[in-house]
Amino acid sequence: MRPSLPLLYSFRRCPYAMRARLGLVFAEQQVMLREIVLKDKPPQMLELSPKGTVPVLQLADGTVIEESFDIMMWALGQHDPNRLLDAQMLSQANALIDKNDNEFKHWLDRYKYADRHPEMSQEEYRQRGEAFLQILETQLTNSTYLLGDGISVADIGIMPFVRQFAHVNREVFYHLPYPHLQRWLKHWLAHPLFLQVMTKYQPWQEGDEVVIFPS
């Protein structure tokens, strides 16, 4: 018998996994959550997704969704009470998320793990990443959120990565000349739904009681 709810493998601190969980929370879509440890991935997850990265979502019909963007879009496609997928903004939102995933994340990884990438200094990696921050700062100059005064899929799709960038060195980040971006990030870090997304769960082991998320 297939489970009545989708099954999500996740890791609390991974920005991709945060993105997926934000999508589920805003879509009010419940899943059976299995928190994992990246150094000890459960074989059940690897059977579903041999590439071994989180998040991984298995739908009730057995379909496996392996990318955070696709999980977010699937969830909001089921239910979107806050209109995060506003059709008039979707193309612009997708373009920003694409730039985040295919350009900014490259420099973010090198900034965070500069010791593994000695080709450039950590400061140089940070400055390369700031090119995207400058775009976001411009977007936020006259609006509360990235695409206007309402939350869009761009906000929840990008915020976890800006958070990770900021947390490499919080003091440095909050002294950069991006006041609107800093205000936006602080707002998100205190947002009730983000706090719900960041609830700590014990790593899943076979035989554990089912954890429903969001509860």
Q: Is the pLDDT of residue 1 over 70?
A: no
pLDDT at position 88 is 93
What is the CATH code of the structural domain delimited by 7-81+195-213? 3.40.30.10
95-117: per-residue pLDDT in tens? 999 999 999 999 999 999 999 99
CA distance 119 to 125: 10
45-98: per-residue pLDDT in tens? 999 999 999 999 999 999 999 999 999 999 999 999 999 999 999 999 999 999
DSSP per residue over 6-18, as a string?
-EEEE-TT-HHHH
Cα–Cα distances in Å, from 60 out to 18, 31, 206? 21, 10, 19
- Give me the CATH topology for the region 87-191: Glutathione S-transferase Yfyf (Class Pi); Chain A, domain 2 (1.20.1050)
Cα–Cα distances in Å, from 179 out to 25, 72, 133, 159, 175? 28, 28, 11, 15, 9
pLDDT at position 2 is 42
pLDDT at position 3 is 52
pTM listed for this prediction: 0.96
Each domain of the chain, given as residue ranges in start order, spans 7-81+195-213, 87-191
Q: For tokens 């739904």, what's the residue?
A: 193
Which band of pLDDT confidence, cut at 50, 70 and 90, is reported for residue 4?
Answer: confident
Query: What is the average pLDDT value for the chain, to the nearest integer?
Result: 96
Helix-helix angle 68-78:153-168, to 10 degrees:
140
Upstream peptide bond of 214 is cis (omega within 30 degrees of 0): yes
The CA-to-CA distance between both ends of the chain, in Å, stands at 23
Q: Compute the average pLDDT of residues 5-20.
A: 98
